[in-house]
């Protein structure tokens, strides 16, 4: 039953934010529908995510990751990224999402998350780790040429970082 509630909450959270926007000529019918959707979401999850801060959402994401609860994790991730795209936790959230995708064998999704960090947060402290994780994901996918390219980029772009030393070791293994 709990999984069903979380699934319903995920579906409600995945609706575009535009569907919750109020038009200029709002009617009582649409206002009551909006309130009922919000009430349903609060009832299903037990929490009103619209009042949750970025640090609170990130903490709940980490808890869901540790509990291996993918549905709760993804709903919190979507809330965090849509409401707080410039949060200092957004890049970390995407990295954890990539790690969870790798843990579940969903390598294409993991690469997407790691690439999203590189693209949307190029000055983040997680970029080197994301690029290294992407290389390791390619290695798990048995794509050594893509892995080697990413490892060489980590080594050249981030010299002296822990990821560059790990990239050196991985390149020696790949040879």
CATH number of 133's domain: 1.25.40.10
The domain containing residue 167 runs over which residues?
106-175
- Asked whether residue 25 is domain-assigned, the answer is no
| Same-domain status, 71 and 9 | yes
| Same-domain status, 82 and 3 | yes
**Residue 88: its pLDDT value, please?**
92
Model confidence pLDDT, tens digit, residues 46-72: 655 566 888 999 999 999 999 999 999
Q: What is the pTM of this model?
A: 0.71
**Residue 157: its pLDDT value, please?**
95
Best CA proximity match to 9, nearest among 59, 60, 55: 60
| Same-domain status, 149 and 68 | no
Model confidence pLDDT, tens digit, residues 112-163: 999 999 999 999 999 999 999 999 999 999 999 999 999 999 999 999 999 9
Q: What percent of the chain has pLDDT over 90?
A: 67
pLDDT at 1 over 60: no
- Asked whether residue 164 is domain-assigned, the answer is yes
Torsions phi, psi for 47 (to 5 deg): -140, 150
Confidence bin at 29 (pLDDT 50/70/90): low
| Same-domain status, 81 and 113 | no
- Asked whether residue 59 is domain-assigned, the answer is yes
- Residue 80 near residue 91, CB atoms below 8 Å: no
Buried/exposed 4-43: b ≥16 CB within 10 Å, e otherwise: eebebbbebbeeeeeeeeeeeeeeeeeeeeeeeeeeebee
| Same-domain status, 69 and 120 | no
| Same-domain status, 69 and 142 | no
Our count of domains for the chain comes to 2
Show the tokens assigned to 68.
């291996």
Lowest mean pLDDT among 21-30, 52-61, 97-106: 21-30
| Same-domain status, 9 and 80 | yes
| Same-domain status, 75 and 143 | no
- Asked whether residue 18 is domain-assigned, the answer is no
């Amino acid at each position: 039953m709990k999984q069903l509630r979380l699934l319903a909450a995920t579906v409600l959270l995945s609706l575009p934010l535009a569907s919750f926007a109020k038009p200029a000529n709002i009617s009582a019918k649409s206002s009551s529908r909006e309130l009922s959707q919000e009430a349903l979401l609060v009832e299903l999850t037990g929490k009103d995510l619209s009042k949750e801060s970025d640090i609170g959402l990130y903490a709940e994401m980490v808890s869901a990751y540790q509990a291996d609860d993918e549905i709760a994790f993804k709903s919190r991730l979507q809330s965090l990224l849509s409401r707080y795209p410039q949060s200092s936790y957004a890049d970390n959230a995407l990295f954890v999402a990539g790690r969870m995708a790798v843990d579940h064998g969903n390598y294409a999704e993991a690469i997407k998350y790691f690439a999203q960090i590189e693209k949307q947060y190029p000055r983040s402290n997680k970029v080197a780790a994301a690029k290294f994780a992407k290389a390791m994901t390619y290695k798990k996918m048995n794509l050594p040429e893509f892995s080697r390219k990413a490892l060489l980029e980590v080594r050249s772009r981030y010299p002296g970082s822990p990821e560059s030393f790990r990239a050196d070791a991985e390149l020696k293994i790949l040879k």
